[in-house]
Structure 1
Amino acid sequence: MSSFLVHHGQPRYKYVPEFRKVTMAATAIYSYAWLVPLALWCFLTWRSRKISSTLSYSFLEIVCVYGYSLSVYIPAVVLWVVPSEVLRWSSIVVALCLSGSVLVLTFWPVMRDDRPRVVLAVLSSVVALHVLLAIGCKVRLHTSRLISA
């Protein structure tokens, strides 16, 4: 969309929809939104049995938390229509911070009774995977734009 707006009105520009990008993005996001919560649920279930914790989340609750945490990316990506790379990176960083904080604050109560190393490892993994998703989407979009130019 942003490529269309940047080149709109240029007689030599021909808009070609890139459905491959949409398919790849949807696959990455849906895989992330289901597989990471599944792994986290398995780990939290195993750890709650090991430390005899009664506080736990169901798989569906974890999927919902991830879904809600990803919703902040919708307005951030809408801002990507504006042809300003600084605005694009700023919007993704703000969305990443807001979304990551939702995840950390949600899973902290379940994890806080565990050993500090385990808590740090799990929460760091959650944040690292979240950063990889955000940066991966942004870099992938930018790389494919460079290739097509």
Structure 2
Amino acid sequence: MELWAIWLVIGIALFVIEMLTLTFYLLWFGIGAITAALVALIVPDLYLLQVLVGCIVALVLTFFTKPLTKFMRQSKGYSDVIDELVGKQGFVIEEIDVGKNGVVKVGNETWSASSDQLLRKDEMIIVIHRGTTVLEVQKWEGVS
């Protein structure tokens, strides 16, 4: 099999995995692999050049993505979906002990969660704060 085809398969595989995870981590590596495939088509015998160009493209895209996303998050009218979780109700899937994370379900999504009180499975909760990946919750005392 030609080396450009291998690079192409790697790039497509990374794109597919990226679509399944939606993290934007593998997208840049996929573009780097596609770029390496193009280099392999032009100069098939320079393996090191293919690797270097693919890596440089992935690094440059990764480096310039951070300021771009920061700018977009600070723009007027931007709202992060995670911020909308604060104040929403859900229930405990895995028990949350003080100082330890558990799992809650809010809407159709499951999240890692922490609390300053013991929360048992199936107890109703309300989201009071969001961290990067962990929600802070407390027992919901309201009437539904």
TM-score (norm 2): 0.30
Higher RCO, Cα 8 Å, sep 6+: 1
Larger radius of gyration: 2
Instruction: Compare the two structures and name the one with the higher strand fraction.
Output: 2
Instruction: Compare the two structures and name the one with the higher helix fraction.
Output: 1
TM-score (norm 1): 0.29
